[in-house]
């Protein structure tokens, strides 16, 4: 099965961290990551009950380190976009749908949970590959973070071992960078490029590309770039000068 990290981004209350550790262990998850947590005291330990090992082994790293080492990052959010014209928090998926998307993966997956008062910000969500939400009642849609973690862990418990390796974060970042260069090369409107790359990240993130698939997309763009620069000529696969920095 994939290695799943439960990442708490700047949690406000130590009690919630303890409860989160407890519910993680209930469903067989042990990899807790804390990004800029508050000071943890005996209250946190008491809330964790028999999951003190999860709490004691929790990693404390930066969010940048989380993104850098993860093969797939999933943002959880209750604040959703109302239109496909705003792709920041769209498309979004339920946790049950998420299970189907990741169950065949053998790689490192980080599931991000935001601050209790306002969640994850747009910049953090933009760096994630998939957006996930828990459907709640309009009457009272706000969930305690430990409850949200419990629902996610319940849905993802007992995943079967993955069957294939994802393109890793470095390989995917190289692909996104190539897409940016490609958009520049075809003179895609400057004001639309950032949104277009974000849409590409959303599409490619949920398709779970293998290394071969990522390489194929590089190849398609390389060939297109070459023909744009050499119209009417036969393609020369050895000519790499038109795509500097792309080493797939």
182-232 residue pLDDT tens: 999 999 999 999 999 999 988 888 887 888 888 899 989 988 988 888 888
What is the per-residue pLDDT for 64? 96
* C-alpha distances out from residue 125 to 90, 95, 218, 229, Å: 10, 17, 25, 36
Give the whole-angstrom CA distance, residue 16 versus residue 43.
Answer: 10
Question: In this structure, are 104 and 195 located in the same domain?
Answer: no
Question: In this structure, are 21 and 117 located in the same domain?
Answer: yes
Using the 3D structure, point to which of 156, 189, 217 is the last residue of a domain: 156
In this prediction, what percent of the chain has a pLDDT beyond 90? 53
Q: By the 8 A CB rule, do 132 and 92 touch?
A: yes
The CATH number of the domain holding residue 125 is: 3.40.1280.10
Question: In this structure, are 123 and 21 located in the same domain?
Answer: yes
Assessment of whether the complete model's pTM goes beyond 0.75: no
How many domains would you assign to the chain? 2
Question: In this structure, are 45 and 120 located in the same domain?
Answer: yes
Structure tokens at 130: 């998939």
- Asked if the model's pLDDT at residue 103 lies above 70, the reply is yes
Q: Which domain holds residue 47?
A: 3-156
Question: In this structure, are 35 and 82 located in the same domain?
Answer: yes
């Amino acid at each position: 099965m994939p290695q799943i990290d439960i990442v708490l981004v700047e949690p406000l209350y130590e009690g919630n961290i303890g409860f989160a550790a407890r519910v993680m262990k209930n469903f067989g998850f042990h990899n807790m990551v804390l990004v800029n947590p508050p000071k943890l005291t005996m209250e946190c330990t008491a809330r964790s009950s028999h999951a003190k090992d999860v709490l004691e082994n929790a990693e404390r790293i930066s969010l940048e380190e989380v993104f850098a080492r993860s093969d797939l990052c999933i943002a959880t959010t209750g604040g959703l976009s109302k239109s496909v014209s705003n792709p920041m928090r769209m498309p979004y998926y339920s946790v049950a749908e998420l299970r189907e998307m990741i169950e065949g993966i053998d790689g490192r997956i980080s599931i991000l949970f935001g601050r209790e008062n306002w969640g994850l910000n747009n910049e953090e969500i933009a760096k994630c590959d998939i957006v996930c939400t828990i459907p709640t009642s309009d009457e009272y849609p706000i969930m305690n973070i430990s409850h949200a973690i419990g629902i996610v862990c319940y849905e993802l418990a007992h995943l079967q071992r993955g069957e294939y390796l994802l393109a890793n974060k470095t390989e995917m970042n190289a692909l996104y960078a190539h897409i940016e260069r490609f958009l520049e090369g075809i003179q895609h409107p400057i004001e639309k490029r950032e949104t277009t790359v974000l849409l590409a990240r959303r599409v490619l993130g949920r398709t779970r590309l293998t290394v071969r698939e990522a390489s194929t997309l590089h190849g398609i763009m390389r060939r297109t770039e070459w023909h744009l620069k050499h119209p009417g000529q036969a393609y020369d696969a050895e000519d790499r000068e038109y795509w500097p920095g792309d080493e797939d």
